[in-house]
Structure 1
Amino acid sequence: MREFIDTALVAVAGRDGTPLHLVFPQVFARNAAALRNVLSARGVEHRLCYAHKVNRSQAFVREACRLGIDIDIASAGELDSALGAGFPPTRIEATGPKGERFLRRLLAENVTINVDNRWELDRIIALAGHPAPILLRVSGFPGTAASRFGIPADEIDTLWPLLAANRDRVALRGLSFHLDTGEHRDRLRAVTTCLTLLESAWNAGLSPDVLDIGGGLRQVFTADPGAYDTYTRVLRTALLGDGRPLTWAGATFGYRVGDGSVHGIPVFHKYANTVPATAALAALLEAEIPGNHRSLAAILTDNLLQLWLEPGKAIADHAGITVAAVEFCKDLPDGTVLVNLDLSRDQVTPADQETLVDPLLVPAQPPPEHPAPLGVFLAGRLCLERDMISNRAVRLPFRPRPGDLLVFPNTAGYHSDLSAGTAAMHPLPRRLAVTRDRSTFTAGPDAGHRPAEEGPCAPTTTSPN
C-alpha cells in the first residue's frame, strides 16, 4: 500500500477524481489466510465467515468466495450481494435483528439463521416448511455489559423442549455470541457459558455441534502505540488551559473537565491496540477453560465441535484507504487554519468517533522548497458546522495546496461505510479495487473486480424472490 501511495496514487486520483475509497483485495486475502492458519495449526474444524457489513466492497465479497471462506450477512441487500458473487446458500449465515420479510427470504434460500430473539425463533417455527438450520445467539454473560442483542443465557435451556418438538421446522446447529468488546476475559466467560449450554442441549436429546464466537477481533492501527499515550496525556493538559488548544470548538472527546483536573476516559476507537487478530484468536484457542483443565482447542477437537467466527475488521485490516483532495485552506482570526476537503466526516469515520490516525499528505505538485510543519483542522464539504473531519489539530509537514491529496489509512473496516452521508446531493466516494502484479498496480471499479485465480465460487446474477 505504501508503494502504491508513493508511485501510483496521484495518477489514479487524477484519472478518477476524488474522493475515493480504495480497497486492496490481496491484503484482504492475506488477512483471511492468517486467521485460517491459526485455526488449522491447532486442528480446529472451523467455518470462517467474512462479516459483509464492515464494507460494501464487491471485490472483498468475490475475494472471500474465491478463498473458500463463508460470509455473514445482515440484510437483504447483503444477501443479494453474496448470492450475486456466487456464494451458495450453504455458505451464507444471517446475523443481526431480522423482520418477517427478511426471515421469509432467508427461509426460502435455506440460509443458516443466527436467531437473535424469541420472536424470531417463533416466526421461523411458524413459517418454515423444512428443517431450517439455526444458531441461537446467547447474551447476558456474567460480568459482561448488557446487550440489546441475543437471548439471555439463563433462558436458553428452557428452549430445548420447543426445539425438540419442532425438529421438522428447525435444526439447531449450535450456539453463538457476539460481544461489543475485544477483551479476552469477556470472550472466555462467554465461551465457558456456551459450552455448558451445549452440554445441556446434548442431555436434552438435541445434537448441536457448533460454537460460534462472532467477531470483535481488533485491528492494529499504529506501529507506535506510545504516540497515542503521549497524545492523550498532552490533550488532558491542553483541556486544562495549559498551552495552545488542541481541539475544535472546545471538544473534549468524552473527558470531563472540573475542579482543576480532567476526569473520565475518551470515546476514541481502540487505536492503541497492539494485539493482532491472529494473536488474540490464538490466545483464546490456547486458554484453559475454567473447571475443565483443557484448552478451548482441545475441547473443540475432543467433542467434534466446529468453531465458527465472523470477523470483519480483522479481515479488512489495512485493506483499504480513503483519499480526498484539498479544495482550499482558510485562515481564521485566531490563527487557526482550516483545510477544506471534498469529503464528509462520516465517509471516513463513524460520526460519533474521532479518527486518531493521522492522514498522509501526498502532494499533487512538487512540495515547497522550504516546508514548514503546522497544525490544522480538517473541514468537510457539507454546509453543517458539525462536518469537521477532524475535531483535533492534525499536524502536517507543510501547508497543503488545492489539489494536494490527504490519505486516511485503514478505513476499510467500518470507517468508510458505517454511515455514508448523501446530504446536499453530494455523490458518494467512488470505490476502486487496487491489485498489484509484480510492480504494476491496476485500479478499476470495485464492482468489476474479478479475482485472478478461479475459486469455489463463480459469480452469478440473482434477484430477490
Structure 2
Amino acid sequence: MSPPAVPAALHPLVAAFLDDRVAVRAALRRFGSPLHLVFPQVFADNLTALRTVLDGVPGGYRICYAHKVNRSAALAATAAHAGIGIDVASAQELRSALTAGFGSDRIEVTGPKGAALLRAALAAGVTINVDNLWELSTIAEMAETTVPVLLRLSGFAASAPSRFGIDHTEVERAFELLTRHRDRLRLLGVAFHLDTAATQERVAAVGDCLTVLERAYAHGLTPTVLDIGGGLRQVFTADAAAYDAYDQALRVGLLGRGPAVHWGLNSFGYQVTDGTVHGRAVFHKYANTESAPTMLGELLAAPLPGHGGRTVSAVLADNLLQLWLEPGKALVDHAGITVTQVEFVKQVGSGTTLVHLNASRDTVTAADQEVLIDPLVLSEPGESSPTGVYFAGHLCLERDLLTQRQVRVDRLPDPGDPVVFANTGAYHMDLSAAQASMHPLPARVAVRHRAGRFVLYPDTVYRPGDEVR
C-alpha cells in the first residue's frame, strides 16, 4: 500500500522544462548530478507580482532582494537588471552585489555586523541597516562621510523576543548617538523583520514603529522610511488536501493503526501518549496556500489601530513615509529546483524500499528539516504501479536519508532516472551545503526559455537581457 501523494506546486515554465525529458537528461550529462537549476524568468515574474501590489502604495516603495536566500549570480544579476535594490549580509554578498551591477545607492547591508563588514560597507558607500548600539557608535567612529542608516527595532509588545535589532528600551540612546553625530549619521528610517507571517503581528509592529518615528522627529531627525523586512511565505504544495491527508496518514502510522510512513523512530515532532498523537509536527510551512503578493496586499489593506480605521498603506502616505521591504523567498519562489539521479534501488528490513540517489540530504534542504513535498521521478513511460519508498543518498549515518518519510512513486525507478526536488531556490540549495567525503558542490545553472526552447548557462556567465519566452 502506498502513502498519499503530496504533489509539488510548479511554475508553468519549470513544468514545461521538466516535461522535456531530453532537455533534463542533457542538462545532467553536461553539468553533472546533482544539479541546481535556477530560472531567472520565474524570479522576474515574482517581482512583477509584488510590484503590482506595491504600485498602489501612495508614498512609494523600494524592494531589496535578500541575497542570502540564494548565492546565485544569475538571480542577483536579474535583480540588478530589474532596477530594484539588494540586501546583503556579508562582505562576500556585498562583492557579489557590486559584481552584479548594483550601485551603492541600491545596496543595503543588514544583519549583525562586525568591524570588518562595517569597514567594507563604509568603503562601498552603501546604506547600513543597524542591528545594535555598538554598530551605530562604531559607524560614527569609522565614517569619513555621512552614512545613511536605518535602525532595526525589536522588543515589540505583540511579538516574541528577538536576538536581532535594537530594543525599544534603547531607542533613546540611539537617538542621542544620531543627534550627536549628525555630520556622520543620517537616519533614513526604522526597520523590523519578524519571524512570522501573521498579518496582525506585522500591523502591530508597524504601529510601534510609527511611535518611534514620532520620537525621532522630536529629536530633530527627519526619517522618511519604514522598512518591514521580508518573511513572506512560499507556496510549496499543489494540493493542500493531499498534504493534510499525508499528515493524517503519518499520525495513523505513528499510532500503529495503519502502515507506518516514518523511518525508524522519527516522529517529526509529534508525541504519542495514551493512544493519541499530541503536539505539532516540525515540518516547514509546506501547507501554506497563500501567495506572497496576497499576504503583502493583506498587510497594506489592514486597518491600523489608533488611526481611525485607516489602512497601513494610507497611514504611510499620510506620514509621507516610503515603504521598504527585503523579500527573498517571495522572489525565488518556484525559481529553483535540484535534479539528481537514481543510483540503485534496494530492499531492506520488512520489505522497505530504498531509492539511492547520488546526493546528500543537505543538497536539497537543511539537515534538520524534512521536506513534506514529494520529489518528482522522471522515469520513462511505463505501467503504473504506485508504491512507497524512502530516498537515500550520501554520508554514513542511519539518519542520513533524503526523506525520512515514505514517498509515493508511480513505479520503482531505474538507475539513471532523474529525480527532481522542487522549489529548492530559497535557502535549500545553500543553507547547509556540505562537502563530506569530498563530494563536490553541485553545479548551479541558469535556465532561460527563448524562441520555444530552453537554453542553459553556467550561473556565473548568465546575463539578463531579452526575456521573451
* TM-score, scaled to structure 2: 0.94
Alignment of 1:290-369 (within 5 A): 290-293=305-308, 294-363=310-379, 366-368=380-382
Deviations along 1:333-376, whole A, 9 cap, x unmatched?
3101111111111110111110011111102xx343x3321101
In 2, the alpha carbon distance for the partners of 1:230 and 1:146 equals 34
Check 1:439–1:453 CA distance in 2 against 1; reply closer, same or farther (3 A cut): closer
Residue in 2 that maps onto 1:118: 133
Assess if the C-alpha contact under 8 Å between 2:67 and 2:76 holds in 1. yes
In 1, the alpha carbon distance for the partners of 2:30 and 2:121 equals 41
Residue in 1 that maps onto 2:246: 231
SS at match of 1:389: coil
- Residue type at the aligned position of 1:154: T
Point out where structure 1 has 5 or more consecutive residues left out of the alignment: 455-465
Alignment of 1:58-457 (within 5 A): 58-293=73-308, 294-363=310-379, 366-368=380-382, 370-453=383-466
In 2, the alpha carbon distance for the partners of 1:447 and 1:386 equals 34
In 2, the alpha carbon distance for the partners of 1:373 and 1:383 equals 29
In 2, the alpha carbon distance for the partners of 1:181 and 1:29 equals 25
Residue in 2 that maps onto 1:16: 31
SS at match of 2:264: helix
Deviations along 1:121-161, whole A, 9 cap, x unmatched?
12111111122111111111113111111111232134222
- Residue type at the aligned position of 1:318: H
Check 1:382–1:39 CA distance in 2 against 1; reply closer, same or farther (3 A cut): same
In 1, the alpha carbon distance for the partners of 2:28 and 2:179 equals 59
In 2, the alpha carbon distance for the partners of 1:438 and 1:74 equals 37
SS at match of 2:55: helix
Assess if the C-alpha contact under 8 Å between 2:136 and 2:177 holds in 1. no
Assess if the C-alpha contact under 8 Å between 1:22 and 1:432 holds in 2. yes
Assess if the C-alpha contact under 8 Å between 2:232 and 2:329 holds in 1. yes
In 2, the alpha carbon distance for the partners of 1:42 and 1:68 equals 18
Instruction: Measure how far apart 1:223 and its partner are.
Output: 2.5
Instruction: Measure how far apart 1:238 and its partner are.
Output: 1.0
- Is it true that 1:45 corresponds to 2:60 in the alignment? yes
In 2, the alpha carbon distance for the partners of 1:86 and 1:217 equals 26
Assess if the C-alpha contact under 8 Å between 2:133 and 2:174 holds in 1. no
In 2, the alpha carbon distance for the partners of 1:109 and 1:17 equals 37
In 1, the alpha carbon distance for the partners of 2:56 and 2:178 equals 35
SS at match of 1:21: strand
In 2, the alpha carbon distance for the partners of 1:122 and 1:259 equals 57
Instruction: Measure how far apart 1:453 and its partner are.
Output: 4.3
Deviates more, 1:158-167 or 1:392-401: 158-167
SS at match of 2:151: strand
Check 1:42–1:306 CA distance in 2 against 1; reply closer, same or farther (3 A cut): closer
Q: % of aligned pairs identical?
A: 56
SS at match of 2:350: coil
Deviations along 1:248-283, whole A, 9 cap, x unmatched?
112111111112211111111111111111011111
SS at match of 1:106: helix
Deviations along 1:77-117, whole A, 9 cap, x unmatched?
10010001111111000011111111111111111111111
In 2, the alpha carbon distance for the partners of 1:229 and 1:422 equals 35
Question: Please, what is the CA RMSD of the aligned residues?
Answer: 1.3
Count of paired positions: 451
Deviations along 1:386-425, whole A, 9 cap, x unmatched?
3211000001011111100111111101111111011111
In 2, the alpha carbon distance for the partners of 1:204 and 1:161 equals 8
Instruction: Measure how far apart 1:288 and its partner are.
Output: 1.1
SS at match of 1:334: helix
Assess if the C-alpha contact under 8 Å between 1:157 and 1:197 holds in 2. no
In 1, the alpha carbon distance for the partners of 2:347 and 2:251 equals 26
Point out where structure 2 has 5 or more consecutive residues left out of the alignment: 1-13
Instruction: Measure how far apart 1:452 and its partner are.
Output: 1.5
Please identify runs of 4+ aligned residues in structure 1 that moved more than 3 A: none
SS at match of 1:173: strand
